[in-house]
Structures are given as structure tokens and as C-alpha cells.
Amino acid sequence: MDFTKIFQSQKDFFNTHKTKEVAFRKETLLKLKNILKENENRLYEAIYKDFRKGRFDTFLTELNLIYNEIDFFLKNIEKLSKPKKVRTPLSLQPGKSHIYYDPLGVTLVIGAWNYPYSLTLIPLISSIAAGNTCVVKPSELPENTMHLLSELINTNFPSNYIHVAEGGIPETTELLKLRYDKIFFTGSPKVGKIVYEAAAKNLVPVVLELGGKSPAIVTGTADLEVAAKRLVWGKFLNGGQTCIAPDYLLVEESVKPELLQLIKEKLDEINYSDGAEHYTSLINKRSFDRVLGLVDKSSIYYGGRSNGETLYIEPTILDNVSWDDAVMQEEIFGPVFPVIGFSNYDEILQKIIEREKPLAAYLFTKDDTEKKKLLDFVSFGGGCINDSLMHITSDYLPFGGIGNSGIGNYHGAYGFLSFSHQKSVVEKATWGEPDWKYPPYNDKKLKWIKRVI
Ligand code: NAD
């Protein structure tokens, strides 16, 4: 595939100004939605073949979010793309000031494998809504979903507007050599650095949606029943392969036995057995081996079984884990949940602060002071109080990381802004201008300037 040719054709198409027409953007989004709806069964089949992800989970965590994003833009593009009038300071009077939301040009979206539809299509939707052209590079690991995405997009849209490029590292390396107007990358911090470096060579702006270790904290004041239920759901959804999954659990010692017992009951009740429709396998053998390699058998409180044939790992809870254990040194990205007890809340916050800034943090508490301390002192991408994962589902909240967990954000209007340039324009009247800004200067003019500014 000649990426340079596609890139150039998208540049040429962008310069026809067609993508800037709001009606054209809406038409494209509606067409995309219809294509996905018509092919829903094929989308379910492909993802099931790739890592046994079931229909309900695929609808809830992928298609539903994609449809919502399209609907949000169908409703809001006019408003978002309209120049915004802002105040004009006295020094610029008489005049008026506007922010114009300019499309950027040719954009590149690189996706991670774990939510193969939403992590490629939601940035694509934002890019289209903002009036750009787009090359999408899905992850090569779930190959059935990659092929299907490429078929559905490439047979229905011209490649000079939207194109899915298939491939792994060599193809992505080639793609990254081109001078896009924006690169939107979702993946690991390690590859994020490679993307950032390649983008820097051409001064291409980036959004990096990365990962890391996201803590969940349960304090002595929490509703333990609610905490157990919501943590089990958030941790083991998608087989624990969610960027914002609670990576590890910090629980106040006084309630630890009760919380662990409740978690155990929830796990038994849901029954995450091998082959269950609501439970997802690991993506490949490499990942399966890596995650099992993090399990210290002497710490297993619950679970621990696995099946190398189906790449199934049972939800596994590790108790009495220490900060130095292997499982605490890297993002787990699998169904293993280490638990560390604590007796001093402030100290535990300090431990989090000393590590890389997490993509997400979750706190279960009924105490406002505890809540305030987390929000005031700990830097993290986003999160929930008394829930897990759900902040990602709101169009009204920017989604993104900070520090090692990412740069920039998207979802709803924030995605539109990430794929737009905010062009600031002052429009001056041709009359009524005082002449104090023009030389030659004198003390009287300086006095005036000081007064006005
Ligand atoms: P990854 O970084 O291995 O791969 C992501 C993409 O980069 C893929 O398309 C892959 O083909 C490409 N790639 C891989 N190596 C490359 C290289 N050397 N040069 C150029 N391109 C390369 O990530 P992954 O395994 O697909 O996903 C898991 C990671 O992504 C986790 O860290 C997870 O937390 C993170 N993630 C973040 C979000 C988010 O929204 N912040 C969402 C999902 C996943």
C-alpha cells in the first residue's frame, strides 16, 4: 500500500474545502452509522473470533459509545463549528473578536487492540466532525476486526477522504514518516514515546491516549456492597483488558476481610467461567503468559485457574501484596487484581503521588474529607467517586490522561477541539483609532497607553 499516495490524495481533497461543509460532515457521519448498524452481526462475529468478546459487552462498550458519539455530533456540529464571538478589550476597540474552529487537514488515528472498534472509530468520528480527512490504523492483533473495519470503510468511502490502513509495526513506522496535521494515538506509554518522537520530526501535534496503573481505593467509610459490585464489574470487564480498569486495590485494613469476602461472592455469583458469554479471553499467548507471570501463587486469595488453549484466565485476587512485588511494577492489563491493605489514608495517597500519574483513579468513600484530599492532591486523568469506569461514557467530560498516561483528550466537544485549530481573529473598524500606538512616541502617548492598558 502506497501511504504517500493516499496521504497526498487526502491533502488534495482537503484543499477542495469539501470537508469543511457542515452538511458533508453530517452526511458522512450518518452514512458511517448506517454502515455499522447494517453490519452489526458481522462486527459481533469478528470480535468474538478475535478474543471471545460477547455481544452484550461489544454493544455496551463499543457500538453503543460509537453511536452516541455520532448522535452527539449530528446534533451539535453546527453549534460547535460556528465562529464564537468573544469579548474585545478596550485597547482593541472599535472592533470585534471571534474564535474560528478550523479543520486541521489530514489526520492519522492509530488504535489499540483492546476496544478495536471504539478506539479507532470514536477518534475518526471526532476528526470527521471537525472537518478533516483521516487515515485510520487499527491494531493488527485482533485481525478479524481489523480486516472488517478496513472492508467496511474502504469499500464505502473514497480513500482520499477516509482510509483504513492495515498493518503492524513496519506499516505504522511508514505512516508515521508523513507530515500529518494531527496524530491521535491510543496505546502503551512505550509506543506513545515512539509516536511522539516521530511526530516531533515534523512538528505534528499529537493526542496520546496511554495507559498505566490506575488505583482503586476503598476506605473504612465506604459502602462495601456497592464497592465490591462496581469494582468486580470494572476490573473484569473485557477480561481486565481496559485502559482505565482499576489496576490494583488499596483497602483500609479494618474493612479488608469483609470487602474481599463480598468480592468473592460477586465473582461466584456472576460466574466468570471459561467460555462464559460475559467474559473475554486474553488477546494472545504472549499476553496470557505475561499476565500469568505476574501471579505469585502464594498470594492467591481467589481464582488462579487458566486455560492456555482458550487463553482464559480466571478472575484472580491476590492478597497481601507489597508495593515491591512484580505485579505492582507494570500495568497488569488482565484479570488479576492485587490487594494492598492500608491504615493511613494520607500515606496511601502519597504512595500514589510518588508513582507515574495514573490514567484513572477510583475512590469508594462516604467521607467528604477523604474525597477532597484525593481530588486536591492527586493528579490523574479522570475517574469516579463510588464507581469505576463510568466517567468514560459521558460526552460532557473530556477523556484523557496526564503525564505518563497521556497528552490531550477527546469525547464530545473535547474531541472536536482536539481535531480543530482555534483560530483567533480580531476584526478592526477602519475608523476611530487613537494614534498613540504609532511612533514617534512621547510622554503624553505613554501616559495614555498606561491609562488604557
Ligand atoms: P501498543 O502500544 O502495543 O499498540 C498500539 C498501536 O501502536 C497498535 O496499532 C500497534 O500496531 C502500534 N505499534 C505497536 N508497536 C509499534 C512501534 N514500535 N512503532 C509504531 N507503532 C507501533 O498498545 P496495545 O497493546 O494495542 O494496547 C494496550 C495499551 O494501550 C495499554 O497500555 C493500555 O492502557 C493502552 N490503552 C489506552 C487507552 C486510552 O484511551 N488511554 C485505551 C486503550 C488502551
CB of 145 closer than 8 Å to CB of 46: yes
The CB of 65 under 6 Å from ligand 1? The reply is no
Residue 434 belongs to some domain of the structure: no
225 with 371, same domain: the answer is yes
Q: For residues 78 and 450, give the distance between their C-alpha atoms in angstroms, rounded to a whole number.
A: 41
In a domain, 374, yes or no: yes
Q: Are residues 287 and 323 in the same domain?
A: yes
Query: pLDDT class for 36, splitting at 50, 70, 90?
Result: very high
Taking the C-alpha atoms of residue 248 and residue 234, their distance in angstroms, rounded to an integer, is 12
Distance 222 CA to ligand 1 centre (A): 34
CA pair distance 237, 390, nearest whole angstrom: 12
Residue 172 lies in a domain: yes
For ligand 1, whether the C-beta of 191 sits within 6 Å is: yes
Q: Ligand 1, from 50, 62, 69, 114: best to mutate by most atoms within 8 Å of Cβ?
A: 114
Is 169's C-beta closer than 6 angstroms to any atom of ligand 1? yes
53 lies in which domain range?
3-210+402-425
- Residue 438 falls within a domain, yes or no? no
Q: How far apart are CA 141 and CA 154, in angstroms?
A: 19
Q: What's the pLDDT band for 433 if we cut at 50, 70, 90?
A: confident
Cell of 206: 499529537
Per-residue pLDDT tens over the stretch 197-217: 999 999 999 999 999 999 999
Same domain, 292 and 204: no
How does residue 437 score in pLDDT terms, banded at 50, 70 and 90? confident
Q: Which of 15, 204, 209 is nearest to 115 (CA)?
A: 209
Whether residue 444 is contained in a domain is answered as: no
Q: Indicate which residue of 62, 69, 134, 243 is catalytic.
A: 243
Question: Which atom belonging to ligand 1 lies closest to the Cα atom of 113?
Answer: 26
pLDDT score at 452: 75
pLDDT score, position 450: 85
- For residue 26, the cross-strand partners are none
Ligand 1 touching residue 318 (CB < 6 A): no
208: three-class secondary structure by DSSP: strand
Percent of the chain exceeding pLDDT 90 equals 95
Distance separating alpha carbons of residues 377 and 199, to the nearest angstrom: 32
If asked whether residues 255 and 154 sit together in one domain, one would say no
Return the CATH number at 181: 3.40.605.10
Determine the distance separating the centroid of ligand 1 and the alpha carbon of 187, expressed in angstroms.
3
Looking at the fold, whether 407 and 303 belong to one and the same domain comes out as no
Q: Which of 62, 69, 209, 314 is catalytic?
A: 209
- Do 315 and 291 touch, CB atoms closer than 8 A? no
Q: Is 209 helix (H, G, I), strand (E, B) or coil?
A: strand
Phi then psi dihedrals of residue 216, to 5 deg: -120, 135
Q: How many Å separate Cα 165 from the centre of its chain? A: 21
220 Cα to the center of ligand 1, angstroms:
36
Q: Is 177 in the pocket of ligand 1 (CB under 6 A)?
A: no
pLDDT interval class at 434 (50, 70, 90): confident
- Is 441 within a domain? no
Residues 6+ apart with CB under 8 A from 336: 240, 291, 294, 295, 313, 316, 318, 327
**DSSP conformational letter for 19:** G
Q: Which residue has the least CA distance to atom 37 on ligand 1?
A: 210
Label residue 219 by pLDDT band (50, 70, 90): very high
Question: pLDDT class for 300, splitting at 50, 70, 90?
Answer: very high
Query: Is residue 362 domain-shared with residue 417, that is, in the same domain?
Result: no
Q: Do residues 290 and 370 both lie within one domain?
A: yes
Determine, yes or no, domain membership for 453. no
CB 25 within 8 A of CB 138: no
Query: Do 312 and 187 belong to one domain?
Result: no
Distance 412 CA to ligand 1 centre (A): 22
**Catalytic: 243?**
yes
pLDDT tens column, 356-376: 999 999 999 999 999 999 999
CATH code: domain of residue 338:
3.40.309.10
Which ligand 1 atom lies nearest to the CA of residue 381?
Answer: 41
C-beta 114 within 6 A of ligand 1: yes
DSSP code string of 371-436: HHHHHHH---SEEEES-SSGGGG-TTS-B---GGGEE--BSTHHHHHHTEEEEEEEEE-SS---GG
What are the start-end ranges of the E strands in 25-124? 84-86, 95-103, 106-110
Q: Which of 233, 177, 227 is nearest to 204 (CA)?
A: 177
Do 32 and 164 lie in a common domain?
yes
Q: Is the domain of 354 the same as that of 318?
A: yes
Which atom number of ligand 1 is nearest to the Cα of residue 400? 41
Atom of ligand 1 nearest to the CA of 167: 11
Ligand 1 centroid to residue 421 C-alpha, Å = 26
Same domain, 303 and 186: no
Residue with CA nearest ligand 1 atom 39: 209
Q: Tell me how far the alpha carbon of residue 205 lies from the centroid of ligand 1, in angstroms.
A: 18
CB atoms within 10 A of CB 70: 23
**How many residues belong to the chain?**
453
Cα 111 to middle of ligand 1, angstroms: 7
**First vs last Cα of the chain: how many Å apart?**
57
What's the 166 CA to ligand 1 centre distance in angstroms? 15
Number of folded domains that form the chain: 2
Cα–Cα distances (Å) from 24 to 31, 109, 131, 216, 227, in that order, read 10, 20, 9, 44, 46
pLDDT per residue as tens digits for the range 103-132? 999 999 999 999 999 999 999 999 999 999
Backbone angles phi and psi of 382, in degrees to 5: -175, 175
* Pairing between β-strand 215-218 and β-strand 206-209 as defined by DSSP bridges: unpaired
Which cell goes with 158? 473514497
Q: What is the reported pLDDT for 237?
A: 97
What does pTM read for this prediction? 0.96
- Domain assignment of residue 439, yes or no: no
Using the atom order of ligand 1, give the atom closest to the CA of residue 243: 34
Place of cell 497481601: 320
Same domain, 321 and 421: no
Choose one of 51, 169, 188, 195 to mutate for the ligand 1 pocket test, by most ligand atoms within 8 angstroms of C-beta: 188
The DSSP output letter for 187 is S
**What confidence tens digit (pLDDT) does each residue in 274-287 have?**
999 999 999 999 99
Report the nearest-CA residue for atom 18 of ligand 1: 169
Cis status of the peptide bond prior to 440, with omega within 30 of 0: yes
**Residue 66 contacts residue 119 (beta carbons within 8 Å):** no
